[in-house]
Structure 1
Amino acid sequence: MAKILILYISATGNTEMMAEAIAGYLEYKNHEVVIKTFDFDPIDVEELLDYDLVLIGTHSNDDGEIPFEAEDFYDELDEVNLKDRLFGVFGSGDTAYDEFCLSVDLMGDKLEHIGAKLVPIRLKVDLTPANEDMERCDAFAETAVQMV
């Protein structure tokens, strides 16, 4: 049984739906899951070391940048040694914008840059997750725990 942190920010509820689906799958598989949001929960980057797997979800606005609520966390990732720690990234966006889910890629790129090990799938969903997207959330979660 793995100890897993799901950390996310959601503006419209779409990334939240993804986080809940991923958490539900992992809990069904008997893993210990802690869910935190950038909006309401204090996040200390040092606490990432307490988990076997950390899954980070972000939404992307029109410019695709890291959401304001997650900027400090993003910057503080450089301050802790996460080399070879396992992470996954996911999120929602809108393909109508020039940069689809750029914040997911920025978070994943940052984690790779500091030496973290990433789940090879960067799960991205266009707007509200459909049934097939929820199935992709399950597959993402399964791939992630297989790597623990």
Structure 2
Amino acid sequence: MKLLIGYVSMSGNTEDIAKLLKDTCEQMGHEVVIAELDGLSVTELRDYDGVLLGAYTWGDGDLPYEAEDFVDDLETTTLSGLPCAAFGSGDTDYPKYCAAVDTIEAALLASGGNIITPGLKIEFDPHTDEQKEACIAFAKAFVSPLLLT
């Protein structure tokens, strides 16, 4: 299956998550395209069998500005049951930890996307074994149902 992993990263944390997800999906036999959200059009999402979208959370639970237009466009498109999920990085010192993940997930649902697994939220970057395992488990939970179709 052909999967898209689209993301926005400022410090590299969300990019590191995206790369772990890509590696896991490829190890499970999927073709994976990875791209930054500001270089994608929401209409391109329908070219894939599954989509993972990620962003870091900025300020008080906000989307990064690089993702705002994409997510706004996402809410006005139709994904017609496309398998998808959201991921991102954040900082638990802020009251709205990883709220960008929730915002992306809500936009995917509003566009008719089929959320395969709950959003993945990682504190900063996936540097601990536990965080890396959470990323791997998230990727596996996403692709496992796709293998049945």
Q: CA RMSD in A?
A: 1.2
Structure 1 residue runs of 5 or longer lacking an equivalent are none
Q: What does residue 136 of structure 1 align with?
A: 134
Segment drifting more, 16-25 vs 120-129: 120-129
What SS is found at the alignment partner of 1:34?
Answer: strand
Amino acid aligned to 1:53: G
What's the % identity of the aligned pairs?
A: 41
1:113 to partner: Cα distance: 2.2
* Deviating 4+ runs (over 4 angstroms): none
- Residue 120 of structure 1: aligned partner: 117
Equivalent residue for 2:82, pick from 71, 82, 85: 85
Count of aligned positions = 145
Q: How does 1:45-64 map to 2 (within 5 A)?
A: 45-64=42-61
Unpaired runs of 5+ residues, structure 2, are none
Scaled by the length of structure 2, the TM-score of the pair is 0.92
Q: Give the TM-score taking structure 1 as reference length.
A: 0.93
Deviations for 1:66-106, whole angstroms, at most 9, x for unmatched residues?
A: 11011111111133211211111000000000100001001
Q: Deviations over 1:103-125 (max 9, x none)?
A: 10011011112221102221001
Deviation at 1:136, TM superposition (A): 0.9
Question: In the TM superposition, what is the alpha-carbon distance from 1:141 to its structure 2 partner?
Answer: 0.7
- 1:62 and 1:98 in contact (8 A); partners too: no
Which whole-Å deviations, capped at 9, do the CAs of 1:34-70 have from their partners, x for residues lacking one? 000135xx21111100101100010012212111011
Aligned residue in 1 for 2:69: 72
Choose the corresponding residue for 2:106, options 97, 103, 109.
109
Residues 117 and 138 in structure 2, CA contact (< 8 A), matched pair in contact too:
no
Partner residue of 1:26? 25
1:145 maps to which residue? 143
Q: Is the 2:57–2:90 Cα contact (8 Å) retained in structure 1?
A: yes
Cα distance in 1 for partners of 2:72, 2:51 equals: 17
In structure 2, the partner of 1:7 is 6
